[in-house]
Structure 1
């Protein structure tokens, strides 16, 4: 009895968002264990009528049924009817095979007798109703109610209850989806038995037997499109619990917010599709002769093509240049129409830099027999009606050849708010957010400039933006780095060098600091340096990092300079709701961090692909995130990066109309990788766009044109209704009016701008004769009066 009571019903792994929306379900069997009190009396009586009407009267074995089975065995050599009681079926389902042999039946009887001695009839019945297989991967009555009727078990009609009660005898033969007529006959027989046994009235029997079959197949619909996140959770659960993760009914709650996650998925796809359209139509994905095919033949042929996310395969059946209408046949919807207005983008692709002329008629784009991808334009209308006269309207589309990733982190805790690792998980399981190692380009510059601010430089430090040539014996030609514009702008402050993304300023700055100093600082920020070059190309972001690592680095800047360890799993529960793991609280600490921090505690610091893995179930200690960067330097960096939005390469982000946003674009040599990373004090989000096999994205493609629109599309939703979140001004910084051309204090009457300095790095006072006197502009040279 200890064994049977300890048996864990095989229940799938379910993954939910933090607001309890289903993201994914993993496991061979669908099961939702219920107690007998949760099951309606009529449903119990339906199973009794179908399987064992004397269940509450016998001692676990029905002598009459066994006698009948024995006669069949002697006369035919086989057992036809079985003679099993519900208790014997419990014994078989929990302990024995399904072999129809005498030895198995004998063991079944012995076990049934023991079960009856140890357990109540109600408990036995409950075990039976949770274990029984009812077809379509449904185990147990609750799962079957969902699979066939998409209802909880207490909302089924009498006819539906009888239909489910008919399944245990032969889940395939009496399945209403496989053989409706046979299933109907079985259902009505059970209803007749229920009437004979006094469970239902003749009127109820009459109504139920006349009810039509309403069963359909309802797969468990996910509520959030987050396949990459789901796979990250699945692989982590498998690492922790092995194959039991699929059967022991674990519930995993993630840190992702369903609304933000769905928008991240949609925004990334829309951005990749927009890039793809700018570079033209690559032609049909297939072609066949449609001249002699009817609708059935077209449907059969289209089974060779699969949908990719919202893109549906369709074959062109007719092209009318006069009306601008194209007839198509869709795999799952039949005949539809496509207007030329949806095809005007489809210039013929030639190279990433070159397209053909704009099409003037539909026949410039497609021909009869072409198989292309399309998007439904009236999908909601089709779902809301059963009217066969409603024709699908579609627009021309194609699966993007470019890829991308988006990661959004809570900057204060490291919780992953949203993540998408590519256009389609079904098309490619490769998670670019955590696995793709790419060059960050100018997205790297904030880390270089932060290093400079902590090593004696200021936002007003001047460097010459002028040509520079490096001779290298290992190179065939000299290295002549340039700005993206190809122009040079002379003396430039670090602030302007950052928001204008001036390459020559960054290179001279790195040469001044030294690559060793900068690499050491990157290590201090816990950024990976194993694939960073030890030369001046580092200034242009020529190292290799994952988008997750970049997002984490920007989160460190966003939160004021504290360590960040991204994590995905918020909570793990057993099947009965018992908590196994709760993500520990995150504490940002300057002093009194204790002897262990997230990087020093070997258990809690375990990471895969830059993501924090859950600590052991027993650990409830807060994760202490120590300071990695000087808060004053970070505060100044926030100001400089807000200028990227207000005056620099990230101006598109002004559309958010939020003064708390800062960020940085990034584009690598030959435009092979494009980035945008942006944040406020609470949320940091990074977007990368590029080809899986690095190749130029084409003319006019920069971080501001590929990655920033995706970031903006996502952040409009992520920050909707959120209060402004800016880093508090720390002590020890001053605002000084300076000459922007020299970086020195502005003299009276001189055009100047205010700049932020750490107190000890402020420009020296004006000559002694002016000390302590207010100048013509009302500015005092007394540093103590400049702090505000």
Structure 2
């Protein structure tokens, strides 16, 4: 047994020997791994060095002139013609020695606090950015120093690529070798864009605060230091809220890096940014051609990259139609097209190409004298009123439930779901009962809209709207009639409506088609079209919106252009009860009035109102100005342009509906013509049931003819009862014939009796009565009556007749050549057709 077991010492020696062998093998493996990594590293370094060398070789020259002077950008219209060359900048140059220490500290804290410690590239900052870029993707965080920003803004494109960053670093190093830190800082603060065409901190101080640099206070310095990150978005004149938030970030950074105390930071953050800005009436003007449109171009260019439209030497191809833009500006700036109630009355207009989404013209405001001011076409967020109904209510009803234009809705008192007794009301505080979806939309009834969104479902409605470019973080039933919390802009409304006019294809509205950089690089900026709804949804909604403009009951009649197929919708908003009391708002006044509409060529959305809600649009024609603007603009751009009507897709079908049926039923062959509605259905979803309300008309009953010998007249009476006759009255057509002669029409009447005066004595009359309703006719009821003649002597027992001559003929001895009982002026007993009531007839 002892031979089978080893001693503890033997086992230890064996294990030790095994471990040594393992260590030798492991060490050998790691040596191979490290050697491989080392070799790969050398190869990578060599390859990287070669790559960097090639990139550096193509780096632009350090052109000293470009450090100070910007390169202008050209803006082209839709046909490639230059409409503006942006390069002349507003800039008052300031040398380094005149830059206040506080201003310098604010810039350093915000942009590059280690500026005076690096040689153009901040390795500590670079490492942090590299980690962030690996974590979140390249370009997620920048590491550019002030020197690198000077280089980028002077020599390079703004694309976030590895090539550009390497070239930027190389040029920054060169710049640091050639210039002092103070000179580089001076170039930076003078070259920086301060929004629009304003460059440099000295110009910014004068434009925004009306002061010299040495007069600025801490909170004002922080505003200027914060602008370069996004100058147009932080413009304190246009976006004071954004500018104030950015200012407070700068102040926090200044405190963080020890330039100011916490008390100084908090005191400066408490100051309202607008309190020291230059007053509106004293602001420096920056007049540009087509200012409102170029305002959108500038914002759009910035979304496609970190470009400075005023210094980067770009060639920007836009969608502008100069003639349309000029007309829109004239319509807003003057009273030549529209008579405005006062100077404060505002408007925002966007004109699109329906098929492409290209913005043809922008009317930003009625303030011609204010450049780059608040743009009511793109920046405003106002409640849309009833213009939202096709987007949140009726469009989704067609899309998700395949409702036809005939779908019956009842305008009646209703309540919002889950809101107790809160009720939506119509503008006239009345209810009109059952009506088709077409009529409900055209008449802009609120209760039917709310019922529709309740049936569609809020989630479906929100999804539909968001696809049309209407952002909704939340949705509630009052949204159905325009009560949006955040509101929308005319630009967003125009984009949404254009999708209905373009067979369900949506293109985000845009002004910039292409950007060409200085080096010839072309950047395609055109958005792609998206299918956002079925073609039958687009067509049925469009056809209903045509009724809103052209029908006798539509609310948008003032936007109609005769001969032009237009679809569109009005919209007004309401004041709250608290606002009515606070602002003393008169009855019928509204804060906003809209019109959005389109043809197959153009789409336009118009908002009108006042900057401040306490200024109201009084009831009456001023609330129609949005419609008048739309009408005139669409009429102008459509002149001498072929505008085809909207084409029905193969997914829809025409149906003839009987008015008054609920749910809608097909009209029968007996439905009165005036009660037949021609509507549209999604193919395969049309009503199947045919109305039986109007069957073939019954024959008039109890048709009786009685003769009154004393008055010598015939009285015709009959009875008739037909279902539905109360909605469309029945007429009776009475005709007659004498002695089997020709039948002649006596009269048409809604009564159920007729007197025939002075009938021919001894005559045999045959009368017919037919019930009619429109083109429908019943079978005739017939009655015959013989009129007695007392002057005729019956044969006596001797066979003698009443005339005494045995043959019953007049022998002329009585001096009368006519038969007894006949009138001389009507010897044949026929009707006087020109006057059926003539006493000589019969």
The TM-score normalised by the length of structure 1 is 0.49
Higher relative contact order (CA closer than 8 Å, sequence separation 6+): 1
Q: Return the TM-score normalized by structure 2.
A: 0.46
